Amino acid sequence: MELGNNTHILEFLLLGISEDPEVQPLLFGVFLSMYLVTCAGNLLIILAIISDSHLHTPMYFFLSNLSLCDICSTSTLVPKMLVNIQTESRVITYAGCLTQMYFFMLFVGLDDFLLAVMAYDRYVAICHPLHYMVIMNPQLCILLVLGTLIMSALHSLLQGLMVLRLTFCTHREIPHFFCELNHMVQLSCSDTSVNDIVTYFTVVVLAGGPLLGILYSYSKIVSSIYAISSVQGKYKAFSTCASHLSVVSLFYCTSLGVYLSSAASHNTQSSAAASVMYTVVTPMLNPFIYSLRNKDIKGALKRFLWREARKVSLVLERK
């Protein structure tokens, strides 16, 4: 570490969820298990969609991108946490902290935008079914994903540059298990008013915008479903967006819960523990929600696993 006249710091300390040494092995086992389940579950969703030609539709194209995003967002946080627990070291370099913060905001923002895009996809499918394949053509789907990626990258770059201009003095302890933006700003010994204004503005625009889009899409979807005369038709229409609605509810409820708990409580460790819900638990649960509530995904997973098991058995027989 170099303090350079008490104005610069080259490394930080991640305090994590708990500083109790006896709890660390338990935390390591729990987070390793959740990370492996997250990666395996989302990877299975991606492989099932790729391997099944019946799922080569806009809905499942966006779902595969969401699963990939969940793997990436979790991978920016959990491996570093596991290494710190295993090595009994809480150190993260200044460059490593900025990099982790950038990629986490990138993938969380991408997650948020993709949920809005998927809501629009369901709106078109239910409210304009005859024009669905014309509107949601492959070119538009690719442009929507690229657009969300570019907006998320620009937002993360802006926040990273705003943190880069800050000066960090002697206090270098981050009361979290990863380099979270607000905690980074609070550690600075320089004026952070511009950072606060930029953060509030981007939260309103980039978080509120997709949420309003989702609410608008589902208001139109509900109106269209109520207009359907048969009960079976209503159930079929609602079942096509039930999984997505469950994931949206989980994402926003956990995010809002973390925000409210951190605002109401001054206990930073409890805030860090609450953050586990939307950073680790939500990406882990998404594959289960889609596989349990979606018959197409369940069928594709069964066929994919059966084919892979068949390949393994043929290899073993040849040996």
- d(CA 107, CA 66) in angstroms, rounded, equals 10
Residue 188: beta bridge partners? 168
**Polymer length in residues for the chain:** 319
pLDDT for 185-240, tens place per residue?
A: 888 888 888 888 988 888 888 888 999 999 999 999 988 888 877 777 777 777 77
In the numeric block, the tokens 């596991």 are attached to: 82
pLDDT band at 6 (very low <50, low <70, confident <90, very high): very low
- d(CA 62, CA 48) in angstroms, rounded, equals 14
Cβ neighbours of residue 226 closer than 8 Å, sequence gap 6 or more: 234
Structure-block tokens of residue 291: 């596989």
Three-class SS state of 39:
helix
Asked if 106 and 156 touch (Cβ cutoff 8 Å), the reply is yes
pLDDT band at 274 (very low <50, low <70, confident <90, very high): confident
Please identify, in words, the CATH class of the domain defined by 11-318.
mainly alpha
Mean pLDDT score of the chain: 85
The domain limits of the chain are 11-318
The phi and psi torsions of 312 (rounded to 5 degrees) equal -65, -45
pTM score: 0.87
Which of 44-53, 151-160, 169-178, 295-304 holds the top average pLDDT? 151-160
Query: Given this model, what pLDDT does residue 249 score?
Result: 85
Query: Given this model, what pLDDT does residue 2 score?
Result: 40
Three-class SS state of 318:
helix
Q: Which of 102, 86, 93, 44 is nearest to 307 (CA)?
A: 44
Cβ neighbours of residue 296 closer than 8 Å, sequence gap 6 or more: 54, 55, 60
